[in-house]
């Protein structure tokens, strides 16, 4: 039988809800978790049947501490750890607790809300939500900074190669590492920057999304430091979110990867810099509020956890 991965390779769509749930202390969490595993499978099957064109899916990720609390199988996936902060001289990629991560996508916002509500009904007695972010598609897939986000993502067969664990970890083949960070942007400072300078920060042109040639792209541009080589890629599904009256405008960074080491290398380049001190200039306008690593089991693993 073929391995059925969760929908980690889907493309970003019009609406997304991201929720991090943390277990409350001293609760009997196993029964609720079993129900959740069954519910996630149910919601995906139902979405395929009821809304085949809505590009709707729900992906469940499990944090390192939660994996142990739930007494899930050991040894754990080969690169699964509790995310440790990455400290540069000026900025830090913080680490925050995350027991369960839900990534709910659909072109129809109604689906996202109903799926999130059903999940909340299952979890609310044993867990509390640390963070809930409602992301939206901004124009032609731009981040809230105004630049197209996702262009250099892998496509076709490369998407599975870089997004899903293969034979290197046979027990967890078909699973994926999921890393998330919720960034807030200083949009006032960003908007005060001339477009020609903004383009140097990203390393691409703003209106038509063309990459700057080598020799022109600054070494501290985001796309220079985040590019760690053609053999080391990740699948990014970032979404903008925002509250204009509180000025909390941001990017929910989310990546699925066959190897967490690749994500860590990108983060180290960005925060520590190459050479050390030459950090990613995007960080002068972007501050991570969260940072957590999760493992995304296959549907077969969810079935076994749920029985
Ligand atoms: C502040 C939050 C972030 C924003 C707004 C952002 C935005 C962007 C934009 C606009 C691009 C250029 C277009 C594209 O290829 O997608 C890009 C590229 C990229 N970003 Fe980010 N990004 C953020 C954080 C991160 C983080 C934390 C990582 C890795 C851990 C990352 C990894 C990458 C990679 C690998 C590329 C492609 C580089 C290349 O090969 O040209 N990004 N990002």
pLDDT digits over 122-175, tens only? 999 999 998 899 999 999 999 999 999 999 999 999 999 999 999 999 999 999
| Ligand 1 pocket residue status of 223, Cβ below 6 Å | yes
Of all protein residues, the one whose alpha carbon is nearest to atom 8 of ligand 1 is 149
Closest by CA to 89, choosing from 276, 243, 227, is: 276
Half-sphere exposure (CA, 13 Å, Cβ side) for 251?
25
pLDDT digits over 162-175, tens only? 999 999 999 999 99
pLDDT digits over 246-255, tens only? 999 999 999 9
CA distance 295 to 264: 15
| Backbone dihedral angles phi then psi of residue 273, each to the nearest 5 degrees | 100, 160
Q: How far is the CA of 149 from the centre of ligand 1 (A)?
A: 7
Confidence at residue 26, expressed as pLDDT on a 0 to 100 scale: 83
pLDDT confidence bin for 13, thresholds 50/70/90:
very high
Confidence at residue 150, expressed as pLDDT on a 0 to 100 scale: 97
Confidence at residue 1, expressed as pLDDT on a 0 to 100 scale: 65
Q: Is the pLDDT of residue 307 over 90?
A: no
The region that residue 12 occupies, defined by phi over 0 for left and psi between -120 and 50 for alpha, beta otherwise, is beta
CA distance 71 to 277: 41
Confidence at residue 239, expressed as pLDDT on a 0 to 100 scale: 98
> CA–CA distance from 299 to each of 117, 238, 304 (Å)?
21, 23, 9
Segment 212-226 mean pLDDT: 97
> CA–CA distance from 190 to each of 140, 149, 284 (Å)?
20, 16, 9
To which residue do tokens 């749920």 refer? Answer: 306
CB under 8 Å to 31, separation ≥6 — which residues? none
| Ligand 1 pocket residue status of 204, Cβ below 6 Å | yes
Segment 269-293 mean pLDDT: 98
pLDDT confidence bin for 210, thresholds 50/70/90:
very high
pLDDT digits over 60-76, tens only? 999 999 999 999 999 99
Cβ-contact 129, 30 below 8 angstroms: no
Q: How far is the CA of 82 from the centre of ligand 1 (A)?
A: 23
Of all protein residues, the one whose alpha carbon is nearest to atom 6 of ligand 1 is 149
Q: Between β-strands 15-23 and 235-236, what pairing exists: parallel, antiparallel or unpaired?
A: unpaired
| Ligand 1 pocket residue status of 154, Cβ below 6 Å | no
| Ligand 1 pocket residue status of 237, Cβ below 6 Å | no
Of all protein residues, the one whose alpha carbon is nearest to atom 31 of ligand 1 is 226
| Ligand 1 pocket residue status of 306, Cβ below 6 Å | no
CA distance 70 to 77: 15
Of all protein residues, the one whose alpha carbon is nearest to atom 11 of ligand 1 is 149
pTM metric for this prediction: 0.98
Segment 72-90 mean pLDDT: 98
Q: How far is the CA of 152 from the centre of ligand 1 (A)?
A: 9
Confidence at residue 304, expressed as pLDDT on a 0 to 100 scale: 94
When the pLDDT of each residue in the chain is averaged and rounded to a whole number, the result is 97
Question: What is the position in ligand 1's atom list of the atom closest to the CA of 147?
Answer: 10
Q: Is the pLDDT of residue 2 over 90?
A: no
Question: Which residues are tagged catalytic?
Answer: 149
Share of the chain above pLDDT 90, in %: 97
């Amino acid at each position: 039988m073929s391995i059925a991965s969760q929908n980690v390779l889907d493309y970003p769509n019009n609406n997304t809800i991201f929720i991090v749930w943390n277990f409350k202390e001293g609760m009997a969490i196993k029964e609720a978790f079993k129900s959740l595993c069954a519910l996630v499978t149910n919601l995906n099957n139902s979405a395929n049947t009821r809304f085949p064109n809505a590009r709707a899916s729900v992906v469940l990720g499990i944090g390192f501490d939660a994996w142990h609390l739930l007494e899930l199988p050991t040894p754990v996936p080969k690169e699964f750890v509790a995310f440790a902060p990455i400290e540069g001289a000026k900025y830090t990629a913080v680490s925050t607790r995350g027991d369960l991560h839900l990534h709910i996508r659909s072109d129809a916002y109604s689906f996202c809300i109903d799926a999130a509500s059903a999940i909340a009904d299952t979890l609310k007695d044993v867990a509390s939500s640390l963070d809930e972010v409602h992301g939206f598609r901004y124009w032609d897939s731009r981040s809230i900074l105004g630049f197209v986000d996702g262009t250099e993502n892998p496509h076709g067969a490369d998407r599975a190669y870089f997004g899903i664990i293969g034979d290197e970890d046979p027990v967890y083949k078909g699973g994926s590492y999921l890393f998330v960070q919720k960034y807030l942007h200083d949009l006032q400072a960003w908007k005060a920057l001339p477009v020609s300078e903004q383009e140097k920060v990203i390393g691409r042109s703003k209106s038509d999304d063309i990459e700057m040639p080598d020799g022109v792209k600054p070494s501290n541009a985001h796309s220079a430091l985040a590019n760690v080589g053609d053999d080391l890629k990740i699948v990014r599904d970032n979404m903008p979110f925002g509250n204009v009256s509180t000025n909390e405008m941001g990017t929910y960074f989310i990546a699925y990867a066959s190897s967490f080491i690749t994500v860590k290398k990108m983060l180290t380049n960005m925060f520590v810099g190459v050479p050390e001190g030459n950090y990613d200039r995007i960080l002068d306008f972007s501050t991570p509020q969260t940072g957590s690593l999760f493992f995304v089991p296959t549907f077969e693993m969810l079935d076994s956890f749920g029985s």
